[in-house]
Each structure stands twice: as C-alpha cells, then as structure tokens.
Amino acid sequence: MRIAMIGTGYVGLVSGACFSDFGHGVVCVDKDEGKIARLKQGKMPIYEPGLDVLVGSNVEAGRLSFTTDLVEGIAGADAIFIAVGTPTRRGDGFADLTYVYAAAAEIADALDGYTVVVNKSTVPVGTGAEVERIIRERRPDAAFDVASNPEFLREGAAIDDFKRPDRVVVGTSSPRAVEVMRELYRPLSLNEVPMVFTSRETAELTKYAANAFLATKITFINEVADICEKVGADVQQVARGIGLDGRIGAKFLHAGPGYGGSCFPKDTMALVHTAREAGAPFTIVQAVVDANAARKQAMADRIIAACNGVQGARISVLGLAFKPNTDDMRDAPSLDILPRLIEAGATIAAFDPESMDEARKHFGDTITYCDDAYATMAGADAVVILTEWNEFRALDLKRIGGLVKRRIMVDLRNVYQPSELIPHGFAYHSIGRASVAP
C-alpha cells in the first residue's frame, strides 16, 4: 500500500517510519524545509529511541522518503494520514485545528483516485466530519472517505507502542475504508492485535477518553500520596495493593510531581471544553486539570520546605524533560518548579541527558547547565530528582555526600528507598512516603 503522512512531528514521523517498516511505501510530507532537509540526511528532529535506525533502514530500502511538496507526496496514495499539530488555542483551551483544516484543503486540491483520508491528529469530536466537508466542497467529484485513527503512542516508547499496540481504533462507516485500514494494519494481525472499528465520532472521543482516564488515574494516585504523607502510609504499597486488582490495573499508578507532556495537559483541557459545550460537563476531568496544575506549584513549595527556605541556596536538579527517554519539555513539571525556586532566591544547576538544548530555550541564562549529574551537585544545598532517567537510579551516594554542602535529597519520582539514603546521612523527601532524616 502507498501512504502519505502529512506532518513529521512525533506522531507523523514515528507512524510513517513504522508503516514503512511494515512494508508499505511511505512519503512523509512537511512544510518545514529545514526539517525535511535534515531528515533526508538522516538527522532526526526529535529524540526517540530507535527512530534514527528505523528511518535509516527504511529509507535505504526505498520504502520511506521525505518531501515538502504535498502534491508529489500524495500522488498515488491509498491512504493520506493527517498528523499535524493541534496545539491548545490561546485563550479558550480548545484544540487549534488550523493546521488540520489547511491540510484538508491542500489534500482536496491534489486528490487523485479513491483515497482514504485518515485523521491521526488528536481532534475534537466532529473534526472528521468537517474535514470531509472541506474536501467535498472543494472537490465534489473526488472519491474519498475520511476516517479517524487515533494514536496511543507514548514518547520514549513510541515505536514499540506502534508495533505492539493494545488495540487499533478506526472510526469510519465506509466498508471500502475499512478494507484499506485493515490492509494497512495487517502486519499486526500476526500478534492478534484487536482492531476496534467504530463510527468516526466514537473514535475521536475514544482518544480523549483514554488520555483523560489515564490522567485521572495519575492524579488519583498523586492525591492518595498526599494522604499517605499525612497519615504515615506508603503510596507505593497502596499502588501495589490496589493495582493487583485486575479491575484497577498496576499501570499509571506511579505518584509523582504531576503529569506533563504533549498530550495529557492539552487533551484533558480540550475534553473539558468539548463536554461543557455539549452540555455534559466533565466535572471529574476538570478536577484533574485543576489538581495537576496546583500540584506542580506545590512541588516547588515542598523543595523550599525541605531546605528550610532557599534564599541564597544552590539546588541541584536532575532531569528537566517531562519524562525519561525524551527531550520533550512540553508542560514538564520543571517549567513550573524551577522559576518558582528562582523567585524564592535559589540558584539552579541542572542536568538532563537529552533535553539540555530544549531547556536553554525555556530557561535561557536563569539556570546553570551542567555536563552530568555529579557536576550539578558541587556545593548544593539539595539534590532534586525531577525526571526518573535510568542513569539517576544508581547514583554513587557516597560521592554525592562529598560534593554537596547539605545532604538533602528531594526525590519527586520515588527513585530511591528511604533506607538507601539514611546510611549516607541524607535527609530524604519523596512522594507519598514519610520523610526521613539521619
């Protein structure tokens, strides 16, 4: 099958590369000339484990190519995926669909022969219908269907999530489009991946409902963590105790500084707006949005309290990305926490294995950028773990003890056990567990 992928962000690039690895011919289209030029040289615009190798091998095999020319890109395609950005619109929190609709118009003008136009961007319910209307209006003659095929890719594990998904959701009422979509995902049938065919509106809502549910689950355990701290319980044991119940499930019960990233914050807000407009207010998700925003702020206060105030203090920060294995800092807790610490009089020395370039765009010269974890710790009043990168999981605590000024660790990801820190003379503050001091 031949596929055109419009948009080479996380979703478009990973999906395009994976489809080509399935054996399909894929052309990735993007307006950004610099990005396409770099991709042609094998340079990835994002850090995603395994992506460079996957792209390289499929380009070499002649199955994957890149262009800025949409007309050339979609020529002869059986399916055209729209995977452009849908940022939160300024002011009202709605998803901004400008890029989706612009892509639809351009596709319409170049359609040639029966094509399935597939929306992969996360879009509010009804967007598929609008895309169909835009194309139909410009090209009353064209043979096409518009389907919805939401993605459920986690950054840092996106290739695996694409190739070994829990399910594939496709929204369309056209039997012809169903056939094309089945063929595109046929390689997954070996692993008996469930294909869930629904109406377009149902598929669109399924994506938002999935992300909002996961964000709710995280917020739930985060608030359980707060209670644990007050009553002397251990959130990790509570998470295990409830997670073993098959109805609840163990995943996404890791308490932390609040969820971030490109999806949960944006999608929860968009869903709240959609629900309100539809006259069916989604009160639980509204509460999740509010609790998560407040939590990020509260994390800074927790660090300040652990140090008994940070005026003139030097804080070592490990991890800036919103989660490990990505350089993405969109809505990362670090973006809320660091400015608040600086405002309270702290100086920050930070290290992240992948997001240092990204961090410079956000923090400029307000923080010091270090070359590794230990370099952040010289003379530090506290070591703060913000992102649970693997390389922060087995730090040499004895060495840290010799570098820092005060032995205080604030571990917002529960990477360590209190019992590991005590022998090294650290006061240790984590999430949902009692703080310990030597």
Catalytic residues: 263
The pair of three-digit structure tokens given for residue 194, joined into one six-digit string: 């469930």
Residue closer to ligand UDX, measured from CB, 253 or 410: 253
Instruction: Name the minimum Å distance from CB 424 to ligand UDX.
Output: 26
- Identify which of 35, 287, 328, 414 has the alpha carbon closest to the alpha carbon of residue 154: 328
Q: Does 264 bind ligand UDX (CB under 6 A)?
A: yes
Sequence-ordered list of residues with C-beta below 8 angstroms from that of 354, at least 6 positions apart, any chain? 47, 321, 325, 326, 327
* CB atoms closer than 10 angstroms to residue 330: 17
Chosen residue from 16, 73, 260, 353 binding ligand UDX by CB under 6 A: 260
Residue closer to ligand UDX, measured from CB, 21 or 331: 331
CA distance 5 to 12: 6
Instruction: Name the minimum Å distance from CB 261 to ligand UDX.
Output: 3
3-state SS class at 12? helix
- Per-residue binder mask for ligand UDX (CB under 6 A), 371-410, x = binder: ----------------------------------------
Q: Does 211 bind ligand UDX (CB under 6 A)?
A: yes
Helix (H), strand (E) at residue 156: none
3-state SS class at 80? strand
Determine the straight-line distance between the first and last CA of the chain, rounded to whole angstroms. Answer: 64
Measured CA distances, 241 to 4, 244, 248, 414 (Å) = 46, 6, 10, 17
CA distance 72 to 180: 21
Q: Does 154 bind ligand UDX (CB under 6 A)?
A: yes
Residue closer to ligand UDX, measured from CB, 253 or 341: 253
Q: Does 152 bind ligand UDX (CB under 6 A)?
A: yes
Q: Does 263 bind ligand UDX (CB under 6 A)?
A: yes
The pair of three-digit structure tokens given for residue 237, joined into one six-digit string: 């044991």
Residue closer to ligand UDX, measured from CB, 200 or 207: 207
Residue closer to ligand UDX, measured from CB, 94 or 252: 252
Chosen residue from 30, 132, 145, 151 binding ligand UDX by CB under 6 A: 151
Contact 290, 218 (CB under 8 A): no
Chosen residue from 168, 170, 253, 348 binding ligand UDX by CB under 6 A: 253
Instruction: Name the minimum Å distance from CB 332 to ligand UDX.
Output: 7
Residue closer to ligand UDX, measured from CB, 254 or 407: 254
Chosen residue from 322, 363, 392, 428 binding ligand UDX by CB under 6 A: 322
Please tell me what DSSP assigns to residue 298: H
Contact 21, 185 (CB under 8 A): no
Instruction: Name the minimum Å distance from CB 157 to ligand UDX.
Output: 7
Q: Which residues bind ligand UDX (CB under 6 A)?
A: 151-155, 211, 214, 218, 252-254, 256, 259-264, 322-323
